[in-house]
Amino acid sequence: MGIIRSGFSFIVGTVFGVYVAQNYDVPNIRKLGDTGMAKLKHYEQTYRKPKKPRDD
């Protein structure tokens, strides 16, 4: 009985996801993540403290 219940919820979720993706303007998560990472890298390079010279 458990496999039928989990399979049913998976199928309903998939059908709902396809419906939402086709009928609404869903943002591209990968593109959003790549943009965020680029901004974080730029912020890190801009505001990073300068390295101290090593005493050998």
Rg (CA), the chain: 23
> What pLDDT shows up at residue 22?
93
pLDDT tens digits for 12-55? 999 999 999 999 998 889 999 999 999 999 999 998 887 888 76
In the chain, where the domains are located: 2-47
Residues in CB range of 26: below 8 A, 6 or more apart: 20
The model scores a pTM over 0.85: no
3-state secondary structure 2-39: HHHHHHHHHHHHHHHHHHHHHHCCCCCHHHHHHHHHHH
